[in-house]
Amino acid sequence: MVVSPDAQLPYSKGLMAKALMATGIAPDRAYGLARRIEGELRRENTEFTATQEHVYDVAADVLAADGDEQAVSHLRRYQALQETEVPLILLVGGATGTGKSTITTEVAHRLGITRVTSTDFVRQTMRAFFSEAFMPTIHYSSFEAGKAVADDSERPGPEIQGFVEQTRNVLVGVKAVMERALTENHSMALEGVHIVPGLVPAALEGAVVTQCLVAISDEQEHARHFWVRDVDSEGVRPVEKYLAALPQIRRIQDFLVSKAEEAGVPVIENADREAAVDQVIRLVLDSFDGARAAA
């Protein structure tokens, strides 16, 4: 049994493995280590009870025995993150089809963030309240919003104009969602194409905010993601529609990357999902360390 301030629960290899994966350890090794940690806990404690802090101590000892001092350091940072009462706000942007929702969901799972939502959900909600005549851009996909605006030769192409206008509308709802998280003092992860660097608050008083942008440089790899989405959604997200719009989607990605560079927001290349997840977790831990140092 593991005793924490909130409850007394059986030791969970799954939860321990999740904590270890948050340090960058591969899933197969993480589960093997979780079994070793369970064995160490049984050997040293005849009453089969331990505090949550002691479980982390034993985990650190097991990692140290393997000579993995970097993992020990990351585990201690993860432990401190789990013990904080300050809400974490994770903001993940990226063009359509870059894998941002998959990465965000996995990062949230490993960090214990139970509230995950998307800007598309916010946009869909706003569509129920605002007619197309009143707010036309929110009634289109992000890469089709240019159809709702007049082309202005002195500004970027219509797909960028429409996307920016749509983003400004959607961010009204996004900011309300973030304010609700602060009011209720709960952590959340928010992903979506509308998380545009420079337009979304980079810091919020009373919270630790981490923002990044997910991108795919290789166009063929980007296209492959749409085939995967088509299969996963059983045709709800038809691949033909997104492949036909890939040039517009890529232009929006170029725009997002340029805004990220201007705002100093990290761009995560999603060539390998596990590596991308690990990079985002590192960013969250770095943000948390920075907030602790400034406190």
Whether residue 55 sits in one domain with residue 92: no
Query: What tens-digit pLDDT sequence spans the chain (295 residues)?
Result: 776 666 788 888 998 999 999 888 988 999 999 999 999 988 886 567 888 899 999 999 999 999 999 999 999 999 998 888 899 999 999 999 999 999 999 999 999 899 999 999 999 999 999 998 899 999 999 999 988 886 655 555 788 999 999 999 999 999 999 999 999 999 999 999 999 999 998 888 899 999 999 999 999 999 998 887 767 666 567 788 899 999 999 999 999 999 999 999 999 999 999 999 999 999 999 999 998 888 6
CA-wise closest residue to 102 among 277, 285, 282, 227: 277
Q: Which of 33, 67, 83 lies at the terminal end of a domain, its last residue?
A: 83
Same domain for 78 and 123: no
Claim to verify: residue 75 and residue 107 sit in the same structural domain = no
Q: Are residues 64 and 109 in the same domain?
A: no
Contact 22, 111 (CB under 8 A): yes
Q: At what angle do helices 119-127 and 158-184 cross, to 10 degrees?
A: 100
Query: In terms of domains, do 287 and 151 share one?
Result: yes
Asked if 203 and 93 sit in the same domain, the reply is yes
In the block, which residue shows the tokens 């969250």? 284
Answer yes or no: do 269 and 198 share one domain: yes
Boundary residue ending a domain (83, 109, 129)? 83
Do 49 and 192 fall into the same domain? no
- Residue 65 is part of which domain span? 2-83
| Global pTM value | 0.89
173 plus 224 within the same structural domain:
yes
Between strands 188-191 and 267-269, the pairing is unpaired
Torsion angle (degrees, nearest 10) of CA 245, 104, 262, 295: 170
C-alpha span between 251 and 258 (Å, rounded): 11
Q: How many residues does the chain have?
A: 295
Do 267 and 187 share a structural domain? yes
Together in a domain, 152 and 266: yes
> What is the CATH number for 161?
3.40.50.300
Contacts of 35 (CB under 8 A, 6+ apart): 13
Residues 251 and 282 in one domain: yes
Domain tally, the chain: 2
Which residue, 83, 110, 130, sits at the end of a domain? 83
Paired sense of beta strands 88-94 and 208-215, if any: parallel
